[in-house]
Amino acid sequence: MEQRQPDHGNDTPNEQPATPQAKGPRQPENRANGQRQSNGRDKGAQRDREPGESNGQSGHKEERPGHVPEKPAADRLVIGITLGDYNGIGPEVILKALQYNRLQKLCTPVIYGSMRVLNRYRNLLNFKDWNLNGAPHIGQISHKLTNVITCWPDQNQDIQPGHVTPEAGQAALACLRRAVEDMKAGKLDALVTAPINKYNIQSEEFKFPGHTEYLAQEFGVADNLMFMVSETLRVGVVTGHVPLGRVRQNVTRDRIQQKLELMMQSLKQDFGIQKPRIAVLGLNPHAGEAGLLGSEEQEIITPLLNDLRNKGQLILGPFAADGFFGTRAYKGFDAVLAMYHDQGLIPFKSIAFEEGVNFTAGMPVVRTSPDHGTAYDIAGKDRADETSMLQAIYTAIDVARRRKEYAELEANALVVKQPAENK
């Protein structure tokens, strides 16, 4: 098994690369004949999920094996995918995720990047018989092909897989800005962001810790929730990119309640769970040990949870984090709220690294990303595992569909309620 090395990729500093494991993902099935496609990258028996397939919580029924119904072009969601740092593994995992025709049956992918860069990686990965559709702008995309919108003048671009360059950082920003413009104009149903390097992207236009903070400003969101999601576990955090020394001052009753409200709303509208069951972790070792190891549980967390339960919400805790994950107690909950970044993300990535997805809850638009970074050490070597990118696309499709269904249900409920009130 290869040793994972830190890099500087997604919204978590010093993130781990998507290095293949001995127990890698199963390749998506060839839906024309129900057989698995073989391209020399079959890393094992871990299964991929189709959008809308049952995960044991949402109640969706699984499609019959070997069949993915093709949606009419007008009904397909348009999913934007930003290239990220082109010297990292972003282009590779995007191409690997999109090479299977079944995604074109479910959505219309639009890569915001560079045709020249993608053709370079396409040749590197031996995808020469698979054509990409270059589109000058979103109004000229094809619903039958994988589309590429070139976002910067790339004629003389120097592509150096595995190297950090200022040009790659500014190209990543150009892709992000173009995708955000189209999303604001209502041209995209969801956005999937490939990993960036938080250092070479910095400029006068981008002074943020990562994608999330930039998107929050662009869409006028005061607060959001970093929500790591997978088939087996969903974890949100009260304090995200906050130094450990400042965590305690940010763990307040109001902030915990705010994050719980965002999580509750997201579980309902984004994941189709009508009565969510949420676990809350304590801040201190052993959840404070009845005050012996800290008073935050007794003074802040427990009183809040008691008030919320009295209002009928299924929110339990505070739980000691080590025992909670060690005994797999998370399996009895729809989501877990951790007090700080590493308390939630270390167990999440230990349990669901390959298929985990970073979802930003509380935004007016749907945004997901893979849960790994740029992984410069394996960039351009055909060793990157695309499972997390594939699951990020699937999650974006699922959430975008459910939001539309939820909005329709809410609107219908309002129409029914108004006549009754007028009687």
Return the C-alpha torsion angle 401, 403, 407, 409, nearest 10. Answer: 70
Burial profile 378-416: b = 16 or more Cβ within 10 angstroms, e = fewer: bbbeebbbbbbbbbbbbbbbbbbbbbeeeeeeeeeeeee
Determine the Cα angle at 232 with ends 69 and 263, to 5°.
Answer: 95
Whether residues 144 and 213 share a domain: the answer is: yes
What's the total number of domains in the chain?
2
Same domain, 206 and 120: yes
Residues 218, 319: Cα–Cα separation, whole Å: 36
**374 vs 13: CA distance, rounded Å:** 11
Has residue 57 been placed in a domain?
Answer: no
95 with 212, same domain: the answer is yes
Q: Provide the edge-to-edge strand list for the sheet that holds 314-319.
A: 133-134, 147-150, 107-113, 77-82, 190-193, 367-370, 357-361, 225-229, 234-239, 335-340, 277-281, 314-319
Q: Identify the domain containing residue 83 by its residue range.
A: 10-48+68-221+363-423
User: What pLDDT tens digit does each residue of the chain (423 aa) get?
Assistant: 444 433 444 544 334 444 444 333 333 333 333 332 333 333 433 334 555 554 444 433 333 333 445 666 667 899 999 999 999 999 999 999 999 666 888 999 999 999 999 999 999 999 888 889 999 999 999 999 999 999 999 888 889 999 999 999 999 999 999 999 999 999 999 999 999 999 999 999 999 988 999 999 999 999 999 999 999 999 999 998 889 999 999 999 999 999 999 999 999 999 999 999 999 999 999 999 999 999 999 999 999 999 999 999 999 999 999 999 999 999 999 999 999 999 999 999 999 988 999 999 999 999 999 999 999 999 999 999 999 999 999 999 999 999 999 888 878 776 665 655 555
Same domain, 246 and 182: no
DSSP state of 182: H
Using an 8 Å Cβ cutoff, are 354 and 391 in contact? no
Based on the fold, state whether residues 370 and 309 are members of the same structural domain.
no
d(CA 47, CA 25): 6
Global pTM reads 0.81
| Amino acid occupying residue 190 | A
Apex 93 CA angle, 89 and 98, nearest 5? 150
> 408 with 290, same domain?
no
Looking at the structure, do residues 266 and 160 belong to the same domain, yes or no? no
8 A C-beta contact, residue 123 and residue 145: no
- 279 lies in the same domain as 251: yes
C-alpha distances (whole Å) from 49 to each of 213, 345, 356, 417 are 29, 22, 12, 37
Q: Are residues 248 and 289 in the same domain?
A: yes
In a domain, residue 59? The reply is no
301 shares its domain with 402: no
Q: Is residue 82 situated within a structural domain?
A: yes
Domain with residue 307: its CATH number is 3.40.718.10
Which residue, of 286, 317, 344, is where some domain finishes?
344
